[in-house]
Amino acid sequence: MRFLATAYLRLSYTDDHSAESDSITNQKKLVEDFVSAHPDIKLVAEKVDDGYSGILFDRPAFQEMMEDIKAGTTNCVIVKDLSRLGREYIETGRYLRQIFPAYGVRFISINDNIDTANEQVGDDLTIGLKNMINDAYCHDISVKTRSALQSKREKGDYVGACPIYGYRKDPENHNRLIIDEDAARTVRDIYRRKIDGASAKQIARELNWLGVLSPSQYKITRGLPHPTGGFADVPGAKWSAHTVLRILQDETYTGVLLQGKQETYNHKLKNLINKPAEEWVRTENAHEPIILRRDFELVQKILSLDTRTAPDGKEVYLFSGLLICGSCGGPMTRKTNTVNGKKYIYYYCPTGKKHGCPRPVMLREDVLTACVLSSLQAHIQNVIELDSLLDSMGEEQINRELVDGYRAQIHENEMQLDRLRHFKTALYESFISGLLTKRDYRDMKVDYSQQMEQLQSTIDNLRENIEKAQHNADARQRWMQHFKRFSTMTQLDRRATVALIQSIRVRGKKDLDITFRYQAEYDEQAQRLTLRREAV
């Protein structure tokens, strides 16, 4: 009988690629030499799976071979050794004992001296043992690989295959991300548009109208690695609201690397499971940020407030998520009334008196906008004046004096701590020499230990105060600049409203209780200024 053979060749990513014996070229030559020595076998095809694990059998070349077997164009499979066919002993055994015999396929494993045409060579026990050894090897490789990847993640190395849109792998270090400037410009524009008040749906529409390639299409056209499906979730690989939201919510753009979010149950299953956030590996400042941290946090706040968009889906209402009824504490609702052809917009408490609101308020949007704009302008001016006054009173000198005072206290406490350590050491000598009873020794040791703990705690707190004082000026500049960049504002928009206001509590038509962002920092600086004036 003449056998029509297929040479099946496989090399996985976890195999030692430096080992010539495992290379595809070597496997191919080994099979060809074997066939040339067996005139009853004709080699009709070669199937190569390069870079595929032997645990699973959904490998493309292997499936092509099975189609040929079912079609009757091949009736013999030749491999270098059993591990090339597969490393999962149950499924490998099923192919050898059930599937191949059912199709009348002769199986040959050259290095294992297995040939199913010869019943005396390669018995079931030998094959079973070899399959179990191959399976155990694969498990061992899986454990080592997982451990190595986890170690890299904890060091802050990037171990993913496909960087997110806006980044690419550093050609000189594939475990580090660098900015892909062309895509990064689009990312920055998405964040800018969101801060300016556009909805995710509107941003997607604008990007499609401008002809901007979606993340998946962008990577394909530039030959960059990309996951199957990419970010796209609509036909034609267009931008969608879902795509935009994924970009707006990804902290990677701030320079943070979040890895280890998913894992498989074991090396034999492909299905991924999501891990809890506390088990993710987080690395700060792992790469250059595309988006400033303050802008990212502002966008997250906007997203949490954008509970409702305008009916046309183009933008979010000016005060959406910010208005609170000062009487019952419930959120206020926007309402439009048309009288004699003229449109009036109101905000009101939907709870109402019937449902428990003692004093519900209805407030026209134009009146509310004017009041909020006036309050914001006044607060921004207060911040600018406070900044100027602190500069004129030499805040740098104030911080220097504070730091010097803290350091003097630390020095004094450290001297006391050293004395207590000396006394505590001498206690044991006094106990051994009989100057102290065992009870006195124990009580004094406990007392000294407590005093030392208290002093160490005080020293730690003073050091924290020094660090806080040293960074105080920088922190002040950051939050004050947050307000000062709106100093020329003459018209209220969504961006300024969300960036500067925490909440607006409506107590009456002309009684608003506005909580500004960084209110605690403002109050702290104002108090420092007052204390400084009193001291002078």
pLDDT at 205 over 80: yes
| Residue 473: per-residue pLDDT | 56
Domain boundary among 236, 270, 305: 305
Q: How far apart are CA 512 and CA 503, in angstroms?
A: 10
| Across 338-343, average pLDDT | 84
**pLDDT, greater one: 138 or 311:** 138
Are 206 and 91 within one domain? no
Domain for residue 387, yes or no?
Answer: yes
CATH number of the CATH domain containing 128: 3.40.50.1390
Same domain? For 10 and 41 the reply is: yes
Which residue shows structure tokens 């968009």?
A: 309
Mean pLDDT of the chain: 80
Write down the pTM of the prediction. 0.47
Tens of pLDDT, residue by residue over 344-401, are 899 998 888 878 888 888 888 989 999 999 999 999 999 888 888 776 655 566 567 7
**Together in a domain, 365 and 290:** no
Does 343 lie in the same domain as 275?
no
Phi, psi dihedral angles at 488 (to 5 degrees): -100, 10
Mean pLDDT of the 425-451 span? 86
- What residue type is 309 in one-letter code? T
- Asked, for residue 291, whether it belongs to a domain, the answer is yes
Task: Report residue 20 as tokens.
Answer: 């010539």
Which amino acid, one-letter code, is at 393? M
Quick check: is 375 in a domain? yes
Angle between helical axes of 293-305 and 241-248 (0-180°, round to 10): 130
- pLDDT score at 312: 47
Domain of residue 402 covers 317-536
> Which of 281, 305, 329 is where one domain is finished?
305
269, pLDDT greater than 70? no
Same domain? 112 vs 173? no
Residue 44 lies in a domain: yes
185: domain CATH number?
3.90.1750
What tokens were used for 438? 């065992």
| 346, 295: one domain | no
How much is the pLDDT for 77? 94
CB 253 within 8 A of CB 286: no
Question: Which DSSP helix (H) or strand (E) runs through 170?
Answer: strand 167-170
Query: How many structural domains is the chain composed of?
Result: 3
Question: DSSP class of residue 270?
Answer: -
Domain co-membership, 246 together with 338: no
Of the candidates 210, 192, 208, 289, the one whose C-alpha atom is nearest the C-alpha of residue 241 is: 208
Q: What is the pLDDT of residue 121?
A: 42
Please compute the mean of the pLDDT values over residues 204-229 and round it to a whole number. 81
- Please state the three-class secondary structure of 196-249 as a single string: CCECHHHHHHHHHHCCCCCHHHHHHHCCCCCCCCCCCCCHHHCCCHHHHHHHHC
Other beta carbons within 10 angstroms of residue 2's beta carbon come to 10
**Rounded-to-integer distance, Cα 289 and Cα 178, Å:** 9
pLDDT band at 153 (very low <50, low <70, confident <90, very high): low
The answer to the question of residue 363 being in a domain is yes
Positive or negative: CA dihedral 396, 400, 401, 403: positive
pLDDT score, position 232 = 44
Task: Label residue 475 exposed, middle or buried (CB < 10 Å: 0-12, 13-18, 19+).
Answer: middle
| Buried b or exposed e, range 485-519, using 16+ CB within 10 angstroms | ebeeeeebebbbbbbbbeebbbeeeeebebebbbe
What residue type is 402 in one-letter code?
Answer: L
Contact 509, 367 (CB under 8 A): yes
- Closest by CA to 331, choosing from 293, 360, 298, is 360
pLDDT (0 to 100) of residue 471:
56
Q: Where are the beta strands (DSSP E) in 309-390?
A: 323-325, 333-339, 342-348, 362-364
Rounded-to-integer distance, Cα 66 and Cα 87, Å:
18
pLDDT of residue 533: 67
Q: Which tokens in the block code for residue 123?
A: 């018995």
Do 123 and 176 lie in one domain? The reply is no
- Same domain? For 256 and 338 the reply is no
DSSP 3-state of 169 = strand
Do 453 and 358 reside in the same domain of the chain? yes
Regarding whether 510 and 363 lie in a shared domain, the answer is: yes
Q: Are residues 188 and 297 in the same domain?
A: yes
Q: How many residues does the chain have?
A: 536
Q: How far apart are CA 257 and CA 166, in angstroms?
A: 14
Query: In this predicted model, what pLDDT tens digit does every residue of 454-495 receive, in sequence order?
Result: 999 999 888 888 776 665 556 666 778 778 888 888 888 887
Virtual torsion, Cα 527, 528, 531, 536, nearest 10 deg: -140
Looking at residues 511-518, what average pLDDT do you find? 88
Phi, psi of 106 (to 5 degrees): -85, 130
Across 38-42, 428-432, 437-441, the highest mean pLDDT is recorded for 38-42
pLDDT over 50 (residue 199):
yes
Query: Considering 279, 305, 331, which residue would you say is the last residue of a domain?
Result: 305
Domain for residue 156, yes or no? no
Q: From CA 166, how far away is CA 183, in angstroms rounded?
A: 5
- Give domain status of residue 209, yes or no: yes
Q: Enter the DSSP assignment of 316.
A: B
115: in domain: yes
Contact 452, 421 (CB under 8 A): yes
Q: Which long-range contacts (CB under 8 A, 24 or more apart) does 301-310 make?
A: 301/498, 302/194, 302/195, 302/498, 303/194, 303/245, 303/248, 303/249, 305/498, 306/199, 309/199, 309/201
Region 159-173 average pLDDT:
83
Look at residues 131, 148, 113, 173 and name the one whose alpha carbon lies nearest to residue 13. Answer: 148
Instruction: Tell me what the mean pLDDT of segment 178-193 comes to.
Output: 90
Q: What whole-number distance in Å separates Cα of residue 296 and Cα of residue 256?
A: 12
Q: Rounded to an integer, what is the distance from CA 169 to the centroid of its chain? A: 17
